[in-house]
Every structure is written in C-alpha cells, then in structure tokens.
Amino acid sequence: MKSGNNGGDGPVVSRILVIDDEQEMLNNYQRLLKRAGHQCLATTDATRLEELLADFRPEVVITDLMMPEVSGMDVLRRVHAWDPATPVILVTAYGSIENAVTAMKLHAADYLSKPFSMDELLQKVQEASSRRLLERVHEPAAPSPDEENSFHGIIGVSAGMQDVFERVRKVARMDVNVLVTGDSGTGKEAIARAIHKLSPRHNEIFVPIDCASLPENLLESELFGYTKGSFTGANADKKGLLEFANKGTLFLDEIGEIPMTLQVKLLRVLQERAFRRIGGREQIDVNIRVVAATNRDLAEEVRAMNFRSDLYYRLNVITLRLPPLRERPEDIILLAHHFLRAFANDHHLPAMTLAPETQEVLRRYPWPGNVRELQNAMEHAGTLAGDTLIRVEDLPSDLHGYASGTGRRREADFFEEKDRMVGDFEREYLINLLAENSFNISRAAQAAGCHRRTLYRMIHRHKINLKTIQEERRAMRGNPQRVEPARE
C-alpha cells in the first residue's frame, strides 16, 4: 500500500507497526487501523524489533509502555536509533504526567492512556503520519547519518578520531610536510585527502602514488619522468608525478618502501624544490606539499639504517597517528551501516540493517584489517543476506566464532599480553639507554634519535624514578655515592 495523501484531500495512509503484550489489544488495533485503510503489522515480540523495522519499514510505531520483556521506552529508543524521524506513539493504562513528560523528552510523537476511543487513536495516527509526510518533503535538506558523523567523508565519533580531525584542521592550513602513520586499512589516504581539501592548495591537484606497488625503476620514472632516448623504450618525453603535482599536494603512500637510492633523490627535491627528469639536464622547479604515509615504524627503520634519517626528519614535520579500528569501538557500527548504505545504493537494493547479535559480533571482533576489512565484511554480508536484515551467518566465516563471546576474551588476552610485553621492553630499554648515557637526557635522546620531550613523556608514562634507578645501578656496582640529578 502506498503512503501519501491520496490527492491531497484524503487521510494519510501509512504502514503501522503495533507492539503490545496483550493479543486481544493487538486484534483490536489491527481491526481499527485496517478499517481506516492503514497497513498494520501487530506483534507481541518486541525482541525482534530491528528485524521487523527492516522488513516492514513502518511509518508510525505504536507501542504499549508497560511490557514484561521490553519496555515501551526501550522500543522508543531503538526505533529512533533505526530512524529518528519515525514517529512513536506510547500507550499505557498507567498514564501519568511523569510518564508523559519522560516520553516527550525522548521525542515520542504522542502519548495515549487506556482506555481510549477509536476516534482518538485514529486522530493520533493521522497527526503522526501527516507530520512524517511533511518531514519527508523537506528531507533532502537534512544531513544524512554519514554527513552528521563524518569529517570530509571519514566516519568517526570516537575520541581518538576526533583528536585526529582536530589536528588535521590545524595542520592543513600550515604548508608543512605531514607523515601519517597507522596500520594498513586505517584510512591514511582519506586523511591525506582531507588535509588537501582544507589547505590553501585545495583548488589545485591531489596526486597519490603507492610506493609499494612499483619496482624501483618504474617508481623513479613515475615520480621524475624522463626525456626521450634516456633508456630503451623512452620514445618521447614524459612528465613525472612531481610535475603534475606542482602547486598541489603529492601523497606518497607506503613511503617506507622507497629504496635508498630513491630516498636520496626525493630528499633533494624536498630541500631544493627542484629536480631533473631521468636523462634530462633542465632543472624543473616545483612547488608541492608532501603528505607521506606508512604502516612501518620509520624511527625504527632509521635506527636499522633502512631509511635515511635526513629524509625522515624532512617528512616528519608533523605526525598524525591513525588509531586501529579495535581502539575506536564507538565507530564500528557507524562504519558498518555506512558501508551497507553504500553497497545497497550501488546495487539498487533496499536499505539494510544489522541484527542486534550481528552488531555484538562486530564489536567483539578485533579487526586486524581495520576499516578496509570491515568494508569487505559488509559487502560480503550484503551479498549473501536473504533479506534486508544482516544476520551473523551472513558475515565472513572468520567472524562467526565471536558470536559466543569466547573469541573476544581470547583476542583481548592477546592484546593485553602484547601491550604488557611491549611496555616491559620499552621500560627496560629506557633505563639502559639512560644508564649508558650517564642519565644525561639530551645525550640519551640524541643516541635514540628522538627529541628530549619524547624521552620525558616515555619516562613519565612508565613512572621511572630517575633518582631511584641511579641509586639501584650504583648499588649493583657496589659504589654507593651521592646521586646527581638527571641532566639536560
């Protein structure tokens, strides 16, 4: 049955979901509402609410307030989580001003006390349906859920991502190089694009290149271009990406994969803002901003002599670390719904939603592949789903073991143990580093290839008492002396 006003003069006809724990009341609702021309689905089982919402897609929900398993207030919250614009009418035999005020604060559309007349019920339904119809007329101007919870297309309401967004706002307006770090699949290119969009260069080109996907000779020719005849197959001059990116932003993804010989050439470009094509003599000036990204620990790569320290410091003017998905659980369901909406739109399917048990599995799973893995999981589930409700069995098999809860505990134990071991190693490394440098902070920082502030933060994080450590070290050597304070 179509919703609408039947030409503008008749009553609005709607799909109405009714929830009540008394079957006799449900029969009355169905009889009255169907007689008025509405399409009605009545149920005593509020535990299946999300499934019913997804399948029936009601335009008005009527629910009893006092029910044994799920209260009407819970129904109201869950309906608004599914679609905040769907009106909910609360009905109770225990009507009171307090209940009415609470319901209206939670944005209930209306409130009815038993017993009520048929005319009163139909009037409330008609008013709620009419308001919903008017809201739909103006809906294009309202932001979508993705727009409300996104930052330049990046979904995230967690504290970690909000901190990243704030840093991006500050960094973008300053024309400095930025290093974006984080595990694979955390969205480093999306952050790079946001930096470009918010920068003074936003009207110029954004040029991405994946440094890990090309062998050294091809990567060099892609970056620098070449002149005709410079090597076999060079039949004409070719511009490199550095030239294309002039006045814009060059995004170097997986910068840690660049071989040493290319690192030297890239460093020269960053220092001199000029380069030569392969086989060319002419110096080409460029004005570019570089945003680089890596899932490696470049500081460790520098210490291992796999990455040039001078290039590292050129790139690492500002560092933005993207948290892995397991550190931002508040974003998992938001992202899942976002990917489901995109999948449904791309394949011309009706809107899909996640069953409560499916949401719980998504929260439990550790997501080693991060946001990219979540997107793949939602596309997998959307493809296999038999209807518009995504169930646990629709998810990839890797996630099925987390339905019982055992997987979550096992994974939590793994990460807790990993964090403990890394913390122990870091603390011991710090103590040895300080001791080897006579507890001189500046000398220790220089030896570690980091800033003094970084050492101070690590000392504070591990609660290292320098005076106590010095006393212990001297006692171990059998040489108790007056302890000197740690020096700059």
Instruction: At 33, list the tokens.
Output: 């509402």
- Across the range 139-158, mean pLDDT stands at 67
Summarize pLDDT for 90-124 with one digit per residue, the tens.
887 655 545 555 555 556 777 777 777 788 888 88
More confident residue, 59 or 136: 59
Give the CATH number for residue 80: 3.40.50.2300
* 153 belongs to a structural domain: no
More confident residue, 448 or 100: 448
Measured CA to CA, the distance from residue 43 to residue 41 in angstroms comes to: 7
* 220 belongs to a structural domain: yes
What is the pLDDT, as a whole number, of residue 187? Answer: 92
Domain of residue 204, residue span:
159-321
* 231 belongs to a structural domain: yes
Which one, of 184, 150, 177, lies nearest residue 165 by Cα?
A: 150
Measured CA to CA, the distance from residue 129 to residue 105 in angstroms comes to: 20
The total of structural domains in the chain comes to 4
DSSP letter assigned to residue 160: H
Domain identity same for 44 and 122: yes
* 8 belongs to a structural domain: no
* 146 belongs to a structural domain: no
Domain identity same for 164 and 302: yes
- Across the range 207-218, mean pLDDT stands at 85
For residue 343, pLDDT over 80 is answered with yes
Measured CA to CA, the distance from residue 413 to residue 407 in angstroms comes to: 10
What is the pLDDT, as a whole number, of residue 447? Answer: 83
Share of the chain above pLDDT 70, in %: 83
* 453 belongs to a structural domain: yes
Summarize pLDDT for 64-74 with one digit per residue, the tens.
888 877 888 88
Domain identity same for 169 and 317: yes
Domain identity same for 442 and 332: no
pLDDT band with cut points at 50, 70 and 90 for residue 249: very high
Measured CA to CA, the distance from residue 211 to residue 223 in angstroms comes to: 10
What is the pLDDT, as a whole number, of residue 94? Answer: 55
Which among 75-84, 240-249, 478-487 has the top mean pLDDT? 240-249
Domain identity same for 208 and 296: yes
Locate all alpha helices (DSSP H) within 138-239, ordered by sequence. Answer: 145-148, 159-172, 188-198, 216-224
Measured CA to CA, the distance from residue 53 to residue 83 in angstroms comes to: 9
Q: What is the pTM of this model?
A: 0.55
Give the CATH number for residue 334: 1.10.8.60
- Across the range 38-63, mean pLDDT stands at 86
pLDDT band with cut points at 50, 70 and 90 for residue 152: confident
* 21 belongs to a structural domain: yes
What is the pLDDT, as a whole number, of residue 142? Answer: 41
Domain identity same for 393 and 244: no
More confident residue, 189 or 420: 189
Strand, helix or coil for residue 447 = helix
* 78 belongs to a structural domain: yes
Domain identity same for 359 and 382: yes
Measured CA to CA, the distance from residue 364 to residue 473 in angstroms comes to: 45
Give the CATH number for residue 436: 1.10.10
More confident residue, 77 or 185: 185
Domain identity same for 27 and 63: yes
